[in-house]
Amino acid sequence: MIKKTSIYSHPLVHRLIDPGAEKGKRDDDKVVAEIMARCFVPSLITTTSWEGFHFVGHEIQITEAMDCYGAVVWPSALVLCYFLETNVKHYNMADKNVIEIGAGTGLVSIVASLLGAHVTATDLPELLGNLQYNISRNTKTKCKHLPQVKELSWGIALDENFPRSSNNFDYILAADVVYAHPFLEELLITFDHLCKETTIILWVMKFRLEKENKFVDRFKELFDLEEISSFPSLNIKLYKAMKKSRRSA
């Protein structure tokens, strides 16, 4: 059976745009529209539901788990994917060592892999099955380097599972990892543990509560933080961060 739908009725589109989006800046609206256009719904009904995205010249099929926040594609992930694809000149992923924390469905890790990175996608143990499925489905025979999927519970067994001596990550990617959960201090510890002085963090954050602002202030104690882009209609900001040198710290 053929199912005819428009991307404008796609459920993710409604998560992308707030009712007040028209009040945003013109540039903001233009970019949001471009990001929205990367989403599509299947034209055929299949036994396994999935959502589709166009990035890096590929059709990416993502299976979500609606009963778990961590297994849903949120707007911040789309913003980060769009940024990686459209800023290759300044943030080239090719042959770079990249780790994504809170990878969720794996969309960001898939895009980084398609851009040529050595990717390690991490999340909680209960999310790894769906994460591995999505990554394998969308990267097999398509990527220069086969991405890895690994368990990472923030702040737990970091020295054992990610010893500092072997942490040689060029980039840390994070999308919407700060929200109403009780592990913000553990998240900060994890960022710090995975970083060396030259590691670049690309972090997209949706602001919902005052807790997010407090985390940013706490984050600035350990990292030099630069706002790269802002999307007022989404309440989302894209940051670049690097570890403070011992001298400046």
**30 or 242, which is more confident:** 242
Tens of pLDDT, residue by residue over 94-123, are 999 999 999 999 999 999 999 999 999 999
- How far apart (Å, rounded) are the C-alpha atoms in residues 191 and 210? 21
* Residue 4 binned pLDDT confidence (cut-offs 50, 70, 90): very low
- Residue 249: pLDDT over 60: no
Alpha helices in the chain (DSSP H): 11-16, 26-36, 75-86, 107-114, 128-139, 158-161, 184-194, 210-220
**What are the residue ranges spanned by the domains of the chain?**
21-243
As a whole number of angstroms, the distance between CA 244 and CA 249 comes to: 6
Element housing 230 (H / E): strand 223-231
- Whether 10 has a pLDDT exceeding 50, the answer reads no
Q: Is the pLDDT of residue 242 over 80?
A: yes
User: Cα(125)–Cα(151) distance, rounded to whole angstroms?
Assistant: 6
Between 37 and 128, residue with greater pLDDT: 128
Res 26: pLDDT: 63
pTM of the model: 0.85
Spatial distance between the Cα atoms of 230 and 32, rounded to a whole number of angstroms: 11
Task: Average the pLDDT over each of 38-47, 60-69, 77-86, 97-106 and give the range with the smallest value.
Answer: 38-47
- pLDDT reported for residue 245: 79
| Residues 66, 246: Cα–Cα separation, whole Å | 43
Distance CA 12, CA 74 (A): 8
How does pLDDT run across 17-38, given as a tens digit for each residue? 444 444 445 667 888 888 878 8
Average pLDDT over residues 2-7: 34
Q: How far is CA 112 from the centre of its chain?
A: 10
CATH 3.40.50.150 given to domain 21-243: yes
Q: What is the pLDDT of residues 129-168, one digit of tens each?
A: 999 999 999 999 999 999 999 999 999 999 999 999 999 9
Q: What's the pLDDT tens digit per position in 170-224?
A: 999 999 998 767 788 999 999 999 999 999 999 999 987 776 778 899 999 999 9
Q: What pLDDT sits at residue 196?
A: 95
